[in-house]
Amino acid sequence: MTVRFTHTNTKTESLSVFQCHDHELERKTMRSVDWHILPILSIIYALALIDRVNLGAATAAGMGQDLKLAIDARYTIVTCVYFVPYVLFQLPANLILRRAGVRNLITISVVGWGSVQIGMGFLSKWTHLALCRVLLGTLEAAYFPAMVFVISTWYKRHEVQKRLAIFWLIAITAVGFSPILAYALSLLHGKFNIAGWSWIFIVEGAVTLLLGIMSWFFVPEFPDRNTFLTAEQTALVLRRIEKDRGDSVPDPLTCQKVLTHLSDWTLWASGIMFMCASIPAYALAYYISIVLKGIGWSTAIALLLSAPPYGPAIFTTIFFSWLSDRHKHRAGYILIQAIMCIFGLALMAFTENNAIRYFGACVLNAGNIGTVPGIIAYASNNVASQSKRSVQSAMTILFAGIGGVLASTTYREQDAPRFIPGLTTTMAAQGVLVIVLGATHFRFRRLNRLSKEGKLDGPLEGRPGFYYTL
């Protein structure tokens, strides 16, 4: 008995050592993945958002008067034309991402839009500004869906929302403070005979261009192509993904597969939800400085007061993302945040007191910002295979561009400073989000139940053991 006891104890100790080693290796590996992926991608996207929405700050700083954007619907046109190529090129860019290489595609994209942004500082006609916005939309189209695709391939399904929230918050926080930066840059008015609003584009574009050059050295590839992990660590990452959803290895991408994936209506539903969530985000980013200036504040105060509404969103987004990953549940938390957004919009639309309307902007953002990583995580959790993931991520983000068009066209100059039609349209969009969310939730729940009861012809998404995230 003594020998048998000693032998068993040795096996137990050995197993414990191996488990401890595996746990420590996994912790170290995923921490390395976090540091190599999230900061660089978040900073680049922050600059993309700043370059996309600094139009409002530049207009408030004098560009609107210099380029005569208040005539007819010029500001709306300049805002809107960005989204046409942005929508059209997202899916094609994502489909060629693996073939072109993440590093190659992203570097070309970022260097390109940084150069265009610098050029926008030297314009004298509003038509040239519109052309630059078209180029900007074309060059930025590849970035966001590519990053969502890449991030989702590195993590297990119920780890991804916290990472997406970090990615999104770094970007949106930068956007929140961009009006303050814009105000500081506008103070350079007259230097080298350049207008203050021009300095906004020139300096922010130069920073983007520099980061684009640096991205060649730091932007990560897909897990199976990475160069910063050891062979053992790479195998561990791929093993984790294979165990979680069975798509660690890319499957061949064909036209027939793309058409098959596009026939899944839940991919379109995810896009519609993301479109509805993007409308208030774009509306606030493009118009808050103009709204604040229109209700009586000076240019300086309007730009400075544009940042605080983004503060509460940091805490709510982190909180709801942590809960969502912890409970492995998405729809309920998206619903709560959509209701918060509707309440904030109602305060902005139907109250006369400017202080309450400003508080409504804070509530709106506190609810709306967190729905973005929530919807992206919800959509990416419920697909399997890398080919479908590439289509899904592009389709979801593509609809955000449509949301940007709606925000640009429903918040019209003639409705300033209250923008009642735009605010009520945005409220209705949140209602649509809730309805579509309910439809997908009940479908996924029904299919999970039928799969567990063995009443389906095969496993969900063709992956044994796979169940949809509710």
- The average pLDDT across 316-322 equals 91
Distance CA 95, CA 398 (A): 13
Instruction: Give the pLDDT score at 346.
Output: 92
Q: Is the pLDDT of residue 285 over 80?
A: no
Distance CA 304, CA 56 (A): 13
Instruction: Give the pLDDT score at 5.
Output: 36
Choose the weakest-confidence range: 123-132, 326-335, 349-358. Answer: 349-358
Q: What is the pLDDT of residues 70-94, one digit of tens each?
A: 888 888 888 888 888 988 999 899 8
Instruction: Give the pLDDT score at 133.
Output: 93
- The average pLDDT across 202-224 equals 91
Instruction: Give the pLDDT score at 8.
Output: 44
Instruction: Give the pLDDT score at 276.
Output: 94
Sign of CA dihedral 322, 324, 326, 327: positive
Residues in Cβ contact with 175 at an 8 Å cutoff, skipping those fewer than 6 apart: 46, 49, 50, 53, 285, 310
Please count the other Cβ atoms lying within 10 Å of the Cβ belonging to residue 62.
17
Polymer length in residues for the chain: 470
Distance CA 331, CA 270 (A): 12
Choose the weakest-confidence range: 235-249, 283-297, 386-400. Answer: 283-297
Residues in Cβ contact with 211 at an 8 Å cutoff, skipping those fewer than 6 apart: 43, 44, 47, 110, 114
Instruction: Give the pLDDT score at 286.
Output: 65
- The average pLDDT across 117-124 equals 92
Q: Is the pLDDT of residue 295 over 80?
A: no
Tokens 């192509």 correspond to 225
Band (pLDDT 50/70/90 cuts) for residue 10 is very low
Instruction: Give the pLDDT score at 274.
Output: 94
Please count the other Cβ atoms lying within 10 Å of the Cβ belonging to residue 268.
15
Please count the other Cβ atoms lying within 10 Å of the Cβ belonging to residue 238.
15
Residues in Cβ contact with 128 at an 8 Å cutoff, skipping those fewer than 6 apart: none
Q: Is the pLDDT of residue 164 over 80?
A: yes
Instruction: Give the pLDDT score at 296.
Output: 67
- The average pLDDT across 141-158 equals 89
Burial 106-137 (b: 16+ CB within 10 A, else e): bbbbbbbbbbbbbbbbebeebeebbbbbbbbb
- The average pLDDT across 108-120 equals 93
Instruction: Give the pLDDT score at 50.
Output: 83
Instruction: Give the pLDDT score at 21.
Output: 53
Band (pLDDT 50/70/90 cuts) for residue 111 is very high
Residues in Cβ contact with 435 at an 8 Å cutoff, skipping those fewer than 6 apart: none
Instruction: Give the pLDDT score at 6.
Output: 41
Task: Indicate the fold that domain 34-220 takes in CATH.
Answer: Growth Hormone; Chain: A; (1.20.1250)
Q: Is the pLDDT of residue 210 over 90?
A: yes
CATH architecture of the region 255-469: Up-down Bundle (1.20)
**Of 344, 347, 310, the residue nearest 178 (C-alpha):** 310
Q: What is the pLDDT of residues 399-426, one digit of tens each?
A: 988 888 888 788 776 777 778 888 899 9
Q: Is the pLDDT of residue 171 over 50?
A: yes
Instruction: Give the pLDDT score at 80.
Output: 84
Choose the weakest-confidence range: 309-313, 359-363, 464-468. Answer: 309-313
**Of 244, 278, 266, the residue nearest 440 (C-alpha):** 266
Is residue 209 within 8 A of residue 115, CB to CB? The reply is yes
The boundaries of every CATH 1.20.1250.20 domain in the chain are: 34-220, 255-469
- The average pLDDT across 295-313 equals 77
Q: Is the pLDDT of residue 53 over 80?
A: no
Phi-psi sector, 101: left (phi>0), alpha (psi -120 to 50), beta: left
Type of residue found at 345 = L
Distance CA 338, CA 377 (A): 16
DSSP class of residue 73 equals T
